[in-house]
Amino acid sequence: MRFWDTSGLVAVCANDGHVARAAPLLESDPDVMVWWGTRLECVSAVRKLRRDGELNEVSMGQALERLDQLRAHWSEVAPSAVVRVTAERLLHRHVLFAADALQLAAALEWAGEGGGAALVSFDQRLARAAAAESFVILPG
C-alpha cells in the first residue's frame, strides 16, 4: 500500500503529463491510502483543468468517473486532532500550503514510526517535505 497525494491521483484520472509514470504505480499496487480531503482536492484540480481548457467536458467527466472508481476502493486517514497538530508542526518545519501539510500529516499518521513508507507525488514542494520526513517518494 502506498500513500497517494492529489497530484498522483489527478495524473491517473485526468491523463495528464505524469500519467505514464503514475499509472504503472497504481497497476503494481492498487491499494491506495489517501487523506480524508483528497477527493475534494482532486475534484478541484480536475475542474481547474477544465476551466484552463486542458480538459473538455467529456474528458472531465471521464476523469471524475475514474476518480469515483478509485475512491470506491481506497482507504482514508480521517481528520483528527493528531493530524491537525502534526500539520501545524509541519508548517513550522517545511514550506507547505495548509492542504499539503494536512496530506503529509495524514501520511505520517498512516505510516507510523520508523519511516520508509512510500508516498506518490508529483508536487515537488510536498515531495521534498515528505522525503525529509523519511518517506520514499515515488516515482523516483
Asked if CATH classification 3.40.50.150 holds for the domain at 2-138, the reply, yes or no, is no
What residue segments make up the domains of the chain, in order of their start?
Answer: 2-138
Model confidence pTM above 0.75: yes
pLDDT classification of 2: cutoffs 50, 70, 90: very high
User: Over the chain, what is the mean pLDDT?
Assistant: 95
- What percentage of the chain exceeds 90 in pLDDT? 90
* Interval 113-139: pLDDT, tens: 767 899 999 999 999 999 999 999 999
Report the pLDDT value the prediction gives residue 90, as an integer from 0 to 100: 98
CA atoms within a 13 Å half-sphere pointing along the CA-CB vector of 66: 17
Which residues are within 8 A (CB) of 80 and not within 5 positions of it... i.e. 6 or more apart?
Answer: 109
Which ranges of the chain would DSSP assign to H, the alpha helix?
6-14, 19-28, 38-51, 57-71, 81-93, 98-111, 124-132
Report the pLDDT value the prediction gives residue 17, as an integer from 0 to 100: 79
